[in-house]
Structure 1
Amino acid sequence: MYIPALFAASPQAVQNLLASPRAANLVTMTDQGLLATLLPFAFNPAIGRYGALQAHMARNNPQWSLAPLGEALAIIQGPDDYISPSWYASKAGHGRVVPTWNYSTAHVYGELVVHDDAGWLGRHVRHLTGLHEGGREDPWAVDDAPEKYIAGQLRAIVGVELVITRIDAKEKLSQNRSAADAEGVAAGLRSIGREASAAAVERARS
């Protein structure tokens, strides 16, 4: 990934991308070419040197059964937004402004490990569900469903774990703009309901 020094993600920003419940594109090079699948994941910091991303995919998906040639890659995408030049204070001053795109992303590389056993999968889906259901007024739990039904669902999926070897991460959040322009971007993002993106722009300047 091309990362200008100004846009290099801080260690804390990387941890935020890993730990926040979201999905990532798992990309592997195989003897049948490149394969990619979008998968919800959970980050486990206790695995290996840098932690691991744990996910699952349909058993019918051929990606898990085709051994990767070299490292596998998970592409994690944080908030991303179109940035209008009309939000910049400098538009009124000299007008030399153009649109851009703000984003945060991490390219996570590692060794792909397959888990084809009900015990690992059961623990994984309960943990993953808890990450997304936590905080809801009436959270759903895996064990709310009939045991036989869940057992059947687990047989239809396979666990995949990316044991992390390295991470490239970037945050382009208006760090190259003046303070007044960045304030305008944050205000503009809030005006369209993008509170998390606005907060990220403000955090990048703190």
Structure 2
Amino acid sequence: MYLRTVHAEHDIPTLRAFIRANPLGVFTTAIESPISHFLQSSHIPWILDVSDEQNPGELGKLRGHMGRANPQAKAIIHDLTSDSGLSKGTAPRLSKDVLVLFNAPEHHYVTPKFYTETKPSTGKVAPTWNYVAVQVYGRATIYFDSQSHETDAFLSRTVADLTQLCETSIMGYENPWSVDDAPESFMTLLKKAIIGIEIEITDMGGKWKMSQEMKEGDHKGVVQGFETMGTELGKAMADIVRERGELAEKRKS
């Protein structure tokens, strides 16, 4: 992802908060495999673990799971089991970095008609698309041995934590559904059908492409343009554009 300076966000606590608010990430691997494509991606919800929330530099780890029947999971397992030096009972790590891309639900086309300063004066305007995204690079440890206690413990904890996050933070339930509400035999079968993924984050960066590079009149035009759409999405876009414009000005000063 191209992180142009004016759009880039490198504040780690801000990136952590974004991931937790938008936990569905696109998990991408690059694996030489005779059974699948070299590049594969899957949408996976993630838990972000940070040992010290007060440490503004700690990147943390991502935890998630995916279906064992997923072609990407099959390629991962094939790659790991082809290593003759694999230690039995220990969750192995992929040799190459992986990428996870998180996107905000608010994104929209920006018409040149919004540029009320430049369009009337020079006409040198072009359409674009405003959006917010965070990319994460890291090293992935894979829990796929269904006979391993380590795998069982990882999957049990991850499924429970993801459920708690989604039931409370996303759904807002005061009495959330819990994994314990399901029969134990059902959960045992479920865990055999998935593999666990833990990513030690080595780098992350964010992109808030929200017209903050535009001239003042054009920036205000974008805010007004989104507001006059009269939709919830338009209002949300206007709020983010305004907020990022104010932040850009604050950083300049």
**Structure 2 CA distance, aligned partners of 1:42 and 1:50?**
13
Identity %: 29
1:175 maps to: 212
- Secondary structure class of the residue paired with 1:121: helix
- In the TM superposition, residue 39 of structure 1 has moved relative to its aligned partner by 0.8
- In the TM superposition, residue 77 of structure 1 has moved relative to its aligned partner by 1.6
- Secondary structure class of the residue paired with 1:205: helix
Bigger proportion of residues as strand: 1
**Structure 1 CA distance, aligned partners of 2:238 and 2:163?**
28
- In the TM superposition, residue 69 of structure 1 has moved relative to its aligned partner by 4.4
- The TM-score with structure 2 as length reference comes to 0.71
AA matched with 1:202: R
Alignment match of 1:121 (pick from 155, 159, 163): 155
Matched, 1:193 2:232: yes
* Contact map agreement 1:30 1:69 (CA 8 A) in 2: no
* Contact map agreement 2:109 2:130 (CA 8 A) in 1: yes
Larger radius of gyration: 2
**Structure 2 CA distance, aligned partners of 1:46 and 1:172?**
30
Q: Tell me, which stretches of 5 or more residues in structure 1 are unaligned?
A: none
2:113 maps to: 86
- Secondary structure class of the residue paired with 2:107: strand
- The TM-score with structure 1 as length reference comes to 0.86
- The runs of at least 4 consecutive aligned structure 1 residues that moved more than 6 Å come to none
Q: Tell me, which stretches of 5 or more residues in structure 2 are unaligned?
A: 53-57, 81-93, 145-150, 247-253
- Secondary structure class of the residue paired with 2:165: helix
- In the TM superposition, residue 42 of structure 1 has moved relative to its aligned partner by 1.3
**Structure 2 CA distance, aligned partners of 1:64 and 1:147?**
28
* Contact map agreement 2:16 2:48 (CA 8 A) in 1: no
**Structure 2 CA distance, aligned partners of 1:125 and 1:189?**
39
Distance 1:2 1:16, change over 3 A: same
Distance 1:86 1:111, change over 3 A: same
1:42 maps to: 47
* Contact map agreement 2:31 2:76 (CA 8 A) in 1: no
AA matched with 2:44: L
1:152 maps to: 189
Distance 1:127 1:179, change over 3 A: farther
Distance 1:6 1:200, change over 3 A: same
Distance 1:189 1:129, change over 3 A: farther
- In the TM superposition, residue 99 of structure 1 has moved relative to its aligned partner by 1.8
